[in-house]
Structure 1
Amino acid sequence: MSLFRRSDTETRSSSGGWSSVFGTGGGLNNSMESTLRLIPVYAATSLIADSIAIMPVSEYESTGGSKQKAKQQSQLMIDPHPWPTMTRVEWLHQFTSSFLLRGNAYGLITAVDTAGTPSKIMWLHPDHVQVDESGSLPVYSYKGAKLDPSTVIHIPWYPLPGTSVGLSPISQFRQMLETGYAAEQYGKDWFDNGSTPSGHLKYNKGSLEGSDAAKVKSRFKAAVAGNDLFVSGSDWEWAALSVNPDEAQFLQTIKATANQVAAIYRVDPSDIGGEAGNSLTYSTLEMNQIKFQTRALQPIFTRLEHHISRLLPDFHYMKFNPDALVRTDIKTRMEVTKIGLETGMLLQEEGREQEERPALTDKQKQDWQKYYGKKPATGPKEETS
C-alpha cells in the first residue's frame, strides 16, 4: 500500500492531482510538511530558500536608455508581506518553499497603494489552492472560495504545454521519496529494535544450560560496565558483531536518495548528505557558489523578477543581486572593485555602497586626493642645446 493517500483537497494538474495533506500513523505522505521529514529534501529546499531569502533585491528604473536604482522604492519592494510580524526575508522564503515543494507559488494581492500599484502580497498554501482549467482561462479557488483573477499571481516551475499548473516535484518523484523514507525508518527501527546482538560470548568447554548462561551473561555485563576490563582464561571467547552488510543496505539507500534529491534541485550532493561524483581538485568555494547560483537559484528568482516587475509602475523592474552571495577574500574583492573603478564600470560611491560604507564627504574627498590621489602628469622635458 502506498504511503501517499488520496484526498478531497487537491490541485488539479497534468499529473492528475495530489494526495492527502495528512496521512495516518505519522508516516510520509504527500504534504509539504510531511515531505520535509526526509532529511535530503529539507536540506536541499532550505538551502535554496534561505539563499534567495537573504539575497539583496532592489527596484530599478529604465528611462531614456539608462537604467538606475529607482529613487522611490515601491511599497511592494520595501515590505511586501501583509503580516506585520514578518519581513521580506520570510516573504521570499515562503515563495521559494512553495515553489520548490509544489512546483507552483500562488500569491494573493491583499493591498494596493494610492497609484493602484500592489503593495502587499500573501503567498497561499498551495495545498489549499484549486485550479479549474476547463474553460479558456484558469479559475482559481482557495479553500473552496473562488478568487478574483486580477488578484492572483501564479508562478509555475515546470508547466507542460496546455496547462498553466506546474508539475509537483514531490508527486513526480514520490516513489523515490517513499524509498528514501522507508530506508530512514528501517534504520531507526533497526537501531531501536534490532535483533542482531552486539557480540558473542562463547564457552569453549561445552554447552551451557539456560540458567548458567543467564548467570554468565549477567556477570560479563557487570564486568564490562563502564568500559571496564574483562579477564578470562582459555575457556571463553568474545567476538564483537558488526552490522550485517545486507541489513545495513539502508545506509547506501539513504545516500542514493540524497543524490537523487540533489539532482532534482540542482544542488551539490555533499551539501545534503549525498556523495559527489567527482573530485575536481581545482574547485574552489567561489566556483561552487557560482555554480549553485547559476543552476539552483537563478531560474527561480528570475521567474519572480518577471512576475513582480509586471506589477510595478511603468519602466520599473525588480532585480536581485546574486553576486552578493559569492563571498571572496577581501584582497580579491578590492582588486575587482579597483578594476571596476578604473574601467568606469563603478563610481566611487557605488564601490563604497557594495562594502556598505557611506559616501565620502567633500572634505574626505579633498583629503584623499591630497594624500593618495594621482599627481598631475608633467609634459616631456625640453632638450637644451
Structure 2
Amino acid sequence: MGAWSRLKGAFTRDAQISSPEDLLAQSRERRSGKVPVTNDSALRNSAVWACLRLRADLMSDFPIDVYRKVSGIQVEVPKPPVLISPGGSEVGMKEWMYSTEFDLDRGGNCFGIITERSGVIGPDGRGLPGRIDLVELGSVSVRGKGSTITKYVIGGKEYEPWDVWHEKQYTVAGFPMGLSPVAYAAWTIEETISAQQFARDWFAGGAVPLAELKNNAKTIDREAARVARENFRAAVDSSGLFVHGVDWEYKPIQAVASQSAFLEARQYGATEIARFFGVPGDLIDVAMSGSSITYASIGQRNLQFLIMNLGPAVGRREEAFSRKLVSGPRFVKLNTDAMLRMDPEARARTIGARITNRTLTPDEARALDNLPPLTDEQYGQFDRLFGPRSAPTPPTTAVPGASS
C-alpha cells in the first residue's frame, strides 16, 4: 500500500491523525543510512529556506483591502481589526502573513487559536474572529473521520473546530488536511542533507580513506594490514614519525573527483527542491547550467512568477479571508500590484498613455506618487510653457442614412 493510501486510511478509521510532523513520518518509507527529514530539519537546506523565504516575503508584502460591490462597482470599505493586527498588539498583519505562508508552504497547513470574536455574526451563527493567535505547526494534532475534522489537539489541549483557524493548501479530495511538500520532497531533501553530512565526514577524514599505505614488495594478508595500519595511525595521531623500509609507500588520495560529484549532487537537489516548492530555480540562484531565460524587464519576470507560481496561493488566501473574516457581501483582495512595480521610465510611459486615452485623470496619476492635485497656478505654468490647453473634441455621432 502506498504512503498516501495508508495516510488516508488512517483518517477514515476515526483515529488521531497527528501533527504535520507525524504526517511526514507516515508518508514515506524510511531507508537506512539516510538523514531523516522533518519540517524543521529541512530548513537546514539553503534551497528550502530560500524558496520558503521568497514566497513568504512576497505574500506578507501585499497590501490587504476589503471591498463590496455597489451598483456593480467595486468600492473599498474599512478593514476589520483582524485584518490590521490579527495577533493583537504583539503581531501585525505583515508578520502574521509571513508566518502563516511559511507554514502553508512547508507543511500544507497553518493553525491558530481564535481568542477573540467581533460583534459581527458570521455564516455559522458565531461572531467573526477578532484575534487569531498562531501556534507552532508541530504542536497540532487533529482527530476526524472521513473528510471531517472533529477535534484539534494543540499542546495537549482539545479545541472544537470553530475555535481554531485552519488554512490549508496542496489538498486532495476526501482528505481535510493539506499535504506537506516537505514530505513528498523528502527523498530529494534527504539526498542533499546526506550529501552535506558526507562532505563534513569526508573533509574530517571519517567517511572515506584520506590516504593509502601500499606494500610494493609483497601481498599482505588482513592481519598484517591491520598491524601496519595501527602502527601507522599510532605514529601519525601522536604527531610522531612513521619509519619503514623500502617496501612501503604512502600516498594521499586525491578528492577532486568526489568533490565535483558532491557539488553536482547539491545543485541537482536544489533544482528538484525548487520545483517542489513552486519557485523557479533562477530566483533562488540555482538555475541549471546551460539554461538561459531572458526577460525584457524585471516587470515581465515578476509577472510570470505571479501568474504561474504565487497567484494561485494568493487566490486561495483571498477566498479563505473572504469566507471567514468579513461579513455579508464584502470580500478581501490582496493587492499584487506591489510586486509588479515598473522601472521609472516604463511607469511614466504607461501613466502618460492612460491620461492620453482618458482612463486616468492627471489628479489620479499624481495621487499614485502621493502628490496633491495640481493647482490653478501650476496649470498656468504648464500653459505658459506648452501653450494653452485645448478643449477636448466632443465625439461625433453618425446619423443613419445621412450622406457624407
Residue in structure 2 matched with residue 120 of structure 1 by the alignment: 131
Counterpart contact for 1:11–1:127, Cα < 8 Å: no
Q: CA deviation at 1:140?
A: 3.3
Provide Cα deviations, 1:66-90, integer angstroms capped at 9, x if missing partner: 10221x22212222223x2332111
Structure 2 letter corresponding to 1:376: S
- Change over 3 Å in CA distance of 1:250–1:367 after alignment to 2: same
Is 1:47 matched with 2:54? yes
Match of 1:333 among 340, 347, 370: 347
Q: What amino acid sits opposite 1:290 in the alignment?
A: L
What is the CA-CA distance between 1:165 and the residue it aligns to?
0.8
Give 1:139's match in structure 2, choosing from 137, 146, 150.
150
Q: Which SS does the other structure have where 1:161 is aligned?
A: coil
Q: What secondary structure does 2:74 align onto?
A: strand
Q: Which residue of 1 aligns with 2:109?
A: 104
SS at match of 2:258: coil
| Aligned counterparts of 2:138 and 2:392: Cα–Cα separation in 1 | 73
Residue 304 of structure 2 is matched in structure 1 by: 291
Question: What SS is found at the alignment partner of 1:274?
Answer: coil
Cα RMSD for the two superposed structures: 3.5
SS state at 2:148 partner? coil
Preserved CA contact (<8 Å) 2:103 2:110: yes
Structure 1 counterpart of 2:25, one-letter code? S
* Gap regions ≥5 residues in structure 1: 1-8, 21-26, 199-209, 219-238, 380-385
Instruction: Determine the structure 2 residue equivalent to 1:85.
Output: 90
Residue 163 of structure 1 deviates from its aligned partner by 1.1
Secondary structure at 1:319's aligned position in 2? strand
Task: Call closer, same or farther: CA 1:130–1:103 in 2, change over 3 Å.
Answer: same
Q: 2:326 aligns to what SS in structure 1?
A: coil
Q: Secondary structure at the match of 1:101?
A: helix
Alignment correspondent of 2:216:
none
Q: How many Å apart are 1:295 and its aligned residue?
A: 2.3
Instruction: Work out whether 1:263 is the aligned partner of 2:275.
Output: yes
- Greater Cα shift, 368-377 or 328-337: 368-377
State the Cα distance separating 1:336 from its structure 2 match: 1.3
8 A contact 2:147–2:175 mirrored in 1: no
CA contact (8 A) 2:24 2:182 kept: no
Contact conserved, 1:11 with 1:18, CA < 8 A, in 2? no
Instruction: State percent identity of aligned pairs.
Output: 23
Summarize the Cα distance change of 1:280–1:187 in structure 2 as closer, same or farther, 3 Å threshold: same
Q: Following the alignment from structure 1 to structure 2, what is the Cα–Cα distance between the partners of residues 312 and 109?
A: 15
Q: Residues of 1 paired with 2:85 and 2:354: CA distance?
A: 32
TM-score scaled to structure 2, two decimals? 0.70
The yes-or-no answer on 1:249 pairing with 2:266 is: no
2:90 partner SS: coil
Structure 1 position 97, deviation (Å): 0.7
Task: Mark the CA change 1:137 to 1:197 in structure 2 (over 3 Å): closer, same or farther.
Answer: closer
Q: Contact between 2:383 and 2:389, CA under 8 Å: does it hold in 1?
A: no
Secondary structure at the residue paired with 1:105?
strand
Equivalent pairs, count: 327
Contact 2:181/2:277 (8 A) holds in 1: no
Within the alignment, does 1:174 sit opposite 2:193 as a pair? no
For 2:372 and 2:392, how far apart are their aligned partners in 1? 31
8 A Cα contact 1:10 1:127, kept in partner: no
Residue 185 in structure 1 maps to residue 197 in structure 2 = yes
Contact 2:63 2:335 survives alignment (8 Å)? yes
The CA deviation string for residues 7-60 of structure 1, in whole angstroms up to 9 with x for no partner, is xx96378x982339xxxxxx9544432210111100111111111111222222
